[in-house]
């Protein structure tokens, strides 16, 4: 909600704008026109701009007519508002910068961030909405390769986001989802309870539910896209990083028959050791973290932590798992991945384990990311397409 507020009198003058379902992300004022209110922004299924001033209504109409089916933002403008720098994106466009000359009423392309990518080669990302098993409205996205649009049931990669509190997936160009689509896989992203952007009640409904109802929402999302006829229920993998990596391990132990395979990228396996190894820069937030996740000092919560820590339930894992970790990760200590790999290997399970000794919480170096995606795509080909890949030898 946006209010007009009198700081001198310390009181609300009036409510200006609100949305029942989504958080307001911003307002824009014009310095050139005595701080006239131009527009509000919020992120619903897509980024939305709500024009307010007559001036901005005309500008908004001009930009959206010129660039239909694109999201735009004003990256910059001249002080006199005679020229604008407009940034464009969509599910099939990585990003373009355009200039707009108001007097000439003319747009000019300045820079395409990825000119080698053609829109017609890219997959469509569709917003989805469904009801959870306990009646909550849940939003998310499905990226569909061409085969799915032609009516085939395709393999799907379920991709829970990191965070998890206050983070959300968004509509737009997602390089990972496009990579997977180019190989024939759909990608499902669910903004499960505790995700940000959907109001305080939705955020807080996920407190003390990590690995439980938050996980149910992901499963309900998979059930929904299966019911739409887009994906093959027997060919669903689960992949994620950080909390998403935890969700992979939790998914393979909570619902062992639901997923065909999992890729755990810098994920938590043991909530007790995760809490013990939080980095120094998280220490000021430790109390909040325990209020959102779980606190082992509370007996009933300690029981839940044992229930939702995958490392204590590895006997339930019966599907292939690839584990990926940066050795210098300060947030999810390498011990989190070591524990799960060690325990599974002790059982005789073949767990491919990629460790990069020059990386932290996620891979930053291009050569390491290429190694990661090569390994991941080979893993998916083997377990979602039943392709046995020939080993590659180098001279």
pLDDT of residue 111: 97
352 to each of 162, 310, 356, 375, 378, how far by Cα in Å? 22, 18, 13, 9, 12
Nearest to 226 by CA among 137, 317, 142: 142
First to last CA, the chain: 63
Let me know: does 212 contact 131? Beta carbons within 8 Å: no
Query: How confident is the model over 332-351, as pLDDT tens digits?
Result: 888 889 998 999 999 888 89
What pLDDT score was predicted for residue 333?
84
Of 132, 242, 309, 337, the catalytic one is 242
> Above 60 in pLDDT, residue 395?
no
Give the pLDDT confidence of 165-181 residue by residue, as tens digits.
999 999 999 999 999 99
Can 329 be counted among the known catalytic residues?
yes
Instruction: Give dist(CA 247, CA 96) in Å, integer.
Output: 34
Bridge partners of 354? 324
313 is catalytic: no
**Strands (DSSP E) found in the chain:** 2-6, 11-17, 24-30, 36-43, 47-51, 71-77, 83-89, 96-101, 106-112, 124-131, 137-144, 154-158, 186-191, 231-241, 261-265, 321-326, 353-356
Q: Is the pLDDT of residue 389 over 60?
A: no
Residue whose structure tokens are 């083997």: 382
Residue 100, pLDDT > 80, answer yes
In what helix (H) or strand (E) does residue 200 lie, and over which residues does it extend?
helix 200-204
Strand order from edge to edge, sheet including 71-77: 71-77, 83-89, 96-101, 106-112
pLDDT at position 386 is: 67
The string of DSSP codes covering 105-165 is TEEEEEEES-TT--GGGSPEEEEEEEE-TTS-EEEEEEEE-HHHHTT--EEEEE---SS-T
DSSP sequence for 78-91: -TTSSEEEEEEE-S
Q: Where are the domains of the chain?
A: 2-112, 123-385
Kindly indicate whether the domain formed by 123-385 is annotated with CATH number 3.30.365.10. Answer: no
User: 252: which 2 tokens?
Assistant: 């393979």
Query: Given 91, 169, 329, 337, which residue is catalytic?
Result: 329
For strands 154-158 and 137-144, give the pairing: unpaired
302 pLDDT higher than 90: yes
291-309 mean pLDDT: 96
If you count DSSP H runs as helices and E runs as strands, how many of each does the chain have, helices first?
A: 11, 17
Whether the link from the prior residue into 29 is cis, omega within 30° of 0, is no
Q: Tell me, yes or no, if 361 is annotated catalytic.
A: yes
pLDDT score for 277:
85
Tell me the whole-structure pTM to 2 decimals.
0.94
In three-state secondary structure terms, 192 is: coil
pLDDT at 216 over 60: yes
Point out the catalytic residue in the list 139, 161, 243, 361.
Answer: 361
Average of per-residue pLDDT values in the chain: 94
């Amino acid at each position: 909600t946006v209010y007009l507020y009198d700081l001198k009198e310390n009181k609300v003058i009036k409510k200006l704008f609100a949305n029942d379902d989504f958080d307001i992300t911003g307002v824009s004022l014009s310095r050139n026109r005595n701080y006239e209110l131009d527009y509000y922004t919020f992120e619903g299924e897509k980024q939305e701009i709500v024009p307010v001033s007559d001036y901005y209504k005309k500008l908004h109409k001009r930009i959206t007519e010129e660039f239909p089916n694109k999201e735009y933002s004003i990256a910059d403008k001249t002080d006199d508002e005679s020229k604008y720098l407009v940034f464009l994106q969509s599910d099939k466009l990585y990003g373009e910068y355009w200039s707009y000359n108001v007097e000439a009423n003319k747009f000019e392309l300045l820079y395409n961030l990825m000119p080698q990518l053609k829109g017609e080669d890219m997959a469509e990302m569709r917003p989805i909405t469904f009801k959870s098993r306990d009646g909550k409205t849940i939003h998310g996205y499905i990226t569909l390769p061409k085969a799915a649009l032609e009516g085939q049931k395709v393999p799907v990669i379920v991709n829970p986001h990191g965070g998890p509190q206050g983070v959300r997936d968004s509509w737009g160009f997602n390089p990972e989802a496009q990579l997977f689509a180019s190989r024939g896989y759909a990608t499902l992203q669910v903004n499960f309870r505790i995700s940000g952007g959907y109001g305080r009640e939705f955020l807080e409904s996920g407190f003390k539910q990590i690995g439980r109802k938050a996980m149910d929402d992901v499963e309900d999302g998979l059930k929904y896209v299966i019911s739409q006829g887009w994906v093959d229920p027997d060919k669903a993998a689960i992949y994620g990083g950080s909390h998403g990596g935890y969700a992979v391990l939790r998914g393979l132990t909570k619902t062992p028959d639901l997923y065909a395979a999992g890729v755990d990228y810098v994920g938590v396996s043991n909530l007790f050791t995760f809490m013990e190894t939080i980095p120094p820069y998280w220490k000021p937030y430790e109390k909040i973290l325990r209020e959102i996740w779980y606190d082992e000092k509370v007996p009933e919560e300690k029981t839940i932590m044992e229930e939702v820590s995958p490392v204590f339930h590895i006997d339930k894992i019966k599907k292939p798992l690839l584990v990926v970790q940066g050795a210098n990760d300060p947030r999810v200590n390498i011990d989190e991945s070591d524990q799960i790999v060690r325990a599974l290997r002790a059982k005789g399970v073949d767990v491919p384990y990629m460790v990069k000794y020059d990386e932290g919480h996620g891979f930053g170096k291009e050569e390491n990311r290429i190694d990661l995606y090569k390994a991941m795509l080979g893993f998916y080909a083997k377990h979602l397409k039943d392709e046995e890949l020939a080993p590659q030898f180098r001279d």
